[in-house]
Structure 1
Amino acid sequence: MRVEVAGLTVRYGDVTAVDDVSFSLSGNKIYGLLGRNGSGKTSMMSALAGYRRPIGSVRLDGVPVFENAAAMRQVCLVRHAADAADKGDKVSQVLEYGAAWRDTWDNAYALELVDLFKISPKAKVGELSLGQRSALGVVIGLASRSPLTMLDESHLGMDTPTRYAFYDTLLSDFMAHPRTIMISTHLIEELSSLLEEVVIIDAGRLVLQEEADVLRSRGTEVTGNTADVDEFTAGLTVLSEKSLGRTKSAMVYGALEDAQLVRARQLGLELGPIALQDLFVHLTEPVGGKR
């Protein structure tokens, strides 16, 4: 599913949550929607799902999503821990609702996921732990097999082993059933290997949209003798530094030129990639105390 957003603005009274954002998603990829708290991620996803009338344009495969029942049935947005489910409903009922709402629903897969995450179909939603409710949200998102599936921090309530099981399941199901998946997360490094492309927003505005590997290539970790590292990084944008004895490691932002690569070899420096999360922090760092 192609997603085309033009001039999207979302306001709550005097507060502008999303400010004139434009981008497009080509489809059949796993996208990461990255932003600090209050950056507008949830508001943007709500607009993409057709939950609110947009200022600007949100089109899915060329048609507006708002007040378009056919388009909205092709979208699944899971916000946090299955928050659309009534606490008095049983898990089995929630799965029945999913099957009734979505033509693409795979009930056999839903039951497989419920078993994987150790959720009793007979349990009431209100009786589930936070981690189980988060897992139920993931079940709804993945089993929907919606052409546009969005998971808004839906995995944060899970413990580490369950999150890793989710990541493995997400990737294997995406490979078997390609679709457009967007995930908003603060656990950037845990998910970074899954992300093919990232959309970064800050204070409601688009910072960048780029393939994850291209973004990673913007930064380099430089390691070696302290004096040599200091010489090499002079004049470069240094994100952070660490020292241990005579050895120093510095993370720099910006592509290195051929002459710089040659100089690094002459100095005996080791060059390596830096974490996507470190680049995200740099790109959304407040300037002069303001964002």
Structure 2
Amino acid sequence: MIKICNLSKTSRHQPVLDNIQLEILNEKIIGLVGQNGVGKSTLLQAIAGRLTISTHVLYEGQPVRHNVHAAQHIFLLSQQPTFSDHFNLAQILQYGNDVFPHFNWVQANHLLQQVKLQPSYFYYELSKGQAAIFSFIYALCTRATYTLLDEPLDGVDEISRKQLYEILLKDYIQHPRTFVIASHHLQEIEHLLEELIILKQHTIYLHENIHILQQRFVKVSHHPPLQHQYPVIYMEEHPIQSFSIIDLQHKDWLETWAYETLDLHEIYYYISKGALQ
């Protein structure tokens, strides 16, 4: 388990992360979403032990900062270039095989053939999309206990993204471990997810099982304006019919209003819009 306690960071006297409290259990696929600048990448870097504030992040009870054991079991695929231009793909895979105890060399070579990338190619020769695909394959094949993916397939075409996420899901089913996927394309990955973390105002707005989440938030159509005991997180008023997004907070629905459930990306969309009202 990864446990985060009292994790905060500022930059130029402005909050980047504010008092993060979070537990990430083993063998889950978790989505991490939030608007630009809310701290998603910083949170993943902290979990991976790359920041001084990583002393507030514990893996198996020990801080991840300067922790060789944690480094062997937590891998972060960041938005920054991951590998040196001076190595070819075979050398990069060999490095992964040397570092990560469960690295799957056979799968890595099989997936490279599948996406038509030769092990002899140098990293600098790859296009942006090819580099993203190779990095995704590398991350998958580390078989790290915790694999953190920060906008992993940026620059990759839609069909390839869908195929690669299906490969991830199949591999996860065969070899369960934890993935945390930060993405602006929640609609593409929501079928993979078991939990969702929403960052808002630089802290955890919610961390919830997706099935509970989809029961918790509903869309209610109404006219005149809705008077309701439950919190309204977003509302739009129109002359003929208005609607509100209601947070039931795990309570039973007791009203006579007609309502509809929402997809995961719709829930996040309305939560984000509500922040701007």
Whether the TM-score (by the shorter chain) exceeds 0.5 is: yes
Show the 5 A alignment for 1:184-199. 184-199=182-197
Q: Residue 235 of structure 1 corresponds to which residue in structure 2? A: 227
Specify the code of the residue in structure 1 equivalent to 2:226: A
Change (3 A) 1:233 1:193: farther
Larger deviation: 113-122 or 129-138?
Answer: 113-122
Larger deviation: 144-153 or 66-75?
Answer: 66-75
Q: What secondary structure, in the 3-state scheme, does the structure 1 residue paired with 2:265 have?
A: helix
CA distance in 2 between partners of 1:233 and 1:193 (Å): 34
Say whether the 8 Å CA contact 1:80–1:155 is kept in structure 2.
no
CA distance in 1 between partners of 2:3 and 2:244 (Å): 35
Q: Residue 281 of structure 1 corresponds to which residue in structure 2? A: 269
Deviation at 1:242, TM superposition (A): 11
Cα RMSD (Å): 2.6
Give the TM-score normalised by structure 2.
0.88
CA distance in 1 between partners of 2:257 and 2:201 (Å): 39
Show the 5 A alignment for 1:145-224. 145-221=143-219
CA distance in 2 between partners of 1:251 and 1:286 (Å): 10
Give the TM-score normalised by structure 1.
0.84
Larger deviation: 144-153 or 11-20?
Answer: 11-20
Specify the code of the residue in structure 1 equivalent to 2:262: I
CA distance in 1 between partners of 2:111 and 2:227 (Å): 52
Specify the code of the residue in structure 2 equivalent to 1:41: K
CA distance in 2 between partners of 1:288 and 1:80 (Å): 27
CA distance in 2 between partners of 1:215 and 1:241 (Å): 21
Specify the code of the residue in structure 1 equivalent to 2:109: L
Specify the code of the residue in structure 1 equivalent to 2:78: R
Show the 5 A alignment for 1:1-291. 2-54=1-53, 57-80=56-79, 83-221=81-219, 229-231=221-223, 234-235=226-227, 237=232, 239=234, 250=243, 252-255=245-248, 258-260=253-255, 262=256, 264=258, 271-285=259-273, 287=275
Unmatched 5+ stretches in structure 2: none
Say whether the 8 Å CA contact 1:90–1:121 is kept in structure 2.
yes
Say whether the 8 Å CA contact 2:222–2:257 is kept in structure 1.
no
Specify the code of the residue in structure 1 equivalent to 2:28: K
Say whether the 8 Å CA contact 1:155–1:163 is kept in structure 2.
yes
Q: Residue 225 of structure 1 corresponds to which residue in structure 2? A: none
Q: What secondary structure, in the 3-state scheme, does the structure 2 residue paired with 1:284 have?
A: helix
CA distance in 2 between partners of 1:107 and 1:165 (Å): 20
Aligned residues: 271
CA distance in 1 between partners of 2:173 and 2:242 (Å): 37
